[in-house]
Amino acid sequence: MAKRIYSKVKINALTYAILLRELIDGDKNCNQLAEASGLHIQTVYDHTKEMYKQGVIHVHDWETDTKGRCSVRIYMLGPGKDAKKFTKSRQQVSADYRTRQKQILLNQMMAA
């Protein structure tokens, strides 16, 4: 059996219970956990990072942020295989950039 290595981040029993209660209800991201539990977002980040390291939670899915990048982790309680992160190819990133630039130029021409 593999020996577990415990970190120096202290997880308060009440904080741990609050986060577990929220994760039992279903998969959530850190912002949803912070809002539902009333904890500061950085506290939630620290605790979910430690719970992830210990195998208590896993990444169930990814959400896109406001810029369209897959950077928001959706956690689920229990051990499991992490979801793969979707990444765009360089050609797709370039095509999206050109489309945005054309739209900006069109908006500027319409405004003038």
When divided into structural domains, the chain yields a total of 1
Does the model's pTM come out above 0.75? no
Q: Quick check: is 95 in a domain?
A: no
Q: Quick check: is 97 in a domain?
A: no
pLDDT at residue 12, as a whole number: 74
Say if residue 22's pLDDT is above 70.
Answer: yes
Q: Which of 61, 53, 63, 64 is CA-nearest to residue 82? A: 61
Q: Quick check: is 7 in a domain?
A: no
Q: What are phi and psi of 44, to 5 degrees?
A: -65, -45
pLDDT at residue 58, as a whole number: 92
CATH number of the CATH domain containing 37 = 1.10.10.10
Q: Quick check: is 75 in a domain?
A: yes
Q: Quick check: is 78 in a domain?
A: yes
Q: How many CA atoms lie within 13 A of 87 on its CB side?
A: 4
Q: Quick check: is 103 in a domain?
A: no
Confidence band (pLDDT; 50, 70, 90) for 30?
A: very high
Q: Quick check: is 31 in a domain?
A: yes
Whether residue 23 contacts residue 76, with contact meaning beta carbons closer than 8 Å, is answered with: yes
Whether residue 29 contacts residue 75, with contact meaning beta carbons closer than 8 Å, is answered with: yes
Q: Which range marks the domain in which residue 23 is found?
A: 13-87
The CA distance from 105 to 90, in Å, is 23
